Amino acid sequence: MKNNSRRGFMGKAFGAVAGVGAVASLYAMKRSWDPLPSVKAAGFTTLDMSAYKENELVVEKWRGKPIFVLKQSEEMTKKAQENPKDIERLIKVGDAYFMVTIGLCTHLGCIPGYNSEEESFLCACHGGTYDYTGEVTKAPPPRGLDIPPFKIDGMKLVLGEEGPEYKKMKETGVTL
């Protein structure tokens, strides 16, 4: 009997050591699977906002994803100002307003196309549409195009960093 409890103790002690080892190795496995530092460091893109033309969609790349940049024309800005929800989605750099969004449909991740005459986006995959501010105008997409984290730096826009304007957007629920 005495022996049994000794063996039992050894068993439990070994179990405890093995448990610690198992948890530690699980943590190591989790960390190995994390994105590499070089991948994370490359997660910033700087856009020069003075180079864009009105109502002409430019597709940039940030974190491998397409980024839609659409400089709003005066009429578009006026139209947006009439609807506070629309103007909230736009980013003011210098004197101009810009729509800057991740160019992936919020439904299943296809890339919508822009029609500059109708000033709207159409996702051909499942027929979702968005207006010139990236707001959804026809289902199935559950929400407007996502706005990437940005920081305004003079006439430059740094994607991947959360500036005060972005944080405000996040609070009001305009973006995720």
Partner 1 sequence: MAHFTKATSLHDWLNQRLAIDTLRRVLATEYWIPKNINFLWAMGMVLAITFAFLLVSGIFLLMYYQPNVDLAFDSVNYTIMQEVGYGWLWRHVHGVAASVVFLVIYIHMFTGIYYGSYKKGREMIWLSGMLLFVAFSAEAFSGYMLPWGQMSYWAGMVITNLFSGGSLHADGLVEWIRGDYVPAQAFLNRFFMLHVLLIPLAIIGLIVLHFGALRIPHVNNQDGEEIDFEAEAAKYKAGDKANSKVIAFVNDFMSKDMMVVSIYLIFFFYLVFYHYDFAMDPVNFDPANGLKTPTHIYPEWYFLWSYEILRPFSTNVGLIAFAFAQVIFFLLPFLDRSPNAVPASRRGLFKYWFWAMLIDMIILTAMGKVPPEGLFSAIGFYAALTFIGLWIALPFITKFEKKV
Instruction: Give the separation between CA 104 and CA 115, rounded to whole angstroms.
Output: 16
CB of 168 to partner 1, least distance (A): 19
| Sheet strand arrangement including 128-131 | 113-115, 120-123, 128-131, 136-138
CB of 68 to partner 1, least distance (A): 11
CB of 142 to partner 1, least distance (A): 5
The nearer residue to partner 1, 18 or 139, going by C-beta atoms, is 139
The nearer residue to partner 1, 68 or 98, going by C-beta atoms, is 68
Quick one: CA dihedral 107, 112, 116, 117, positive or negative?
A: negative
Residue (of 76, 130, 74) closest to 104 by Cα position: 130
* Residues near partner 1, by CB under 8 A: 33-36, 39, 43, 59, 61, 63-66, 107-111, 124-127, 140, 142, 176
CB of 61 to partner 1, least distance (A): 7
The contacts of residue 6 (CB under 8 Å, 6+ apart) are none
Query: Which residues are paired to 45 by β-bridges?
Result: 159
The nearer residue to partner 1, 70 or 93, going by C-beta atoms, is 70
The nearer residue to partner 1, 1 or 36, going by C-beta atoms, is 36
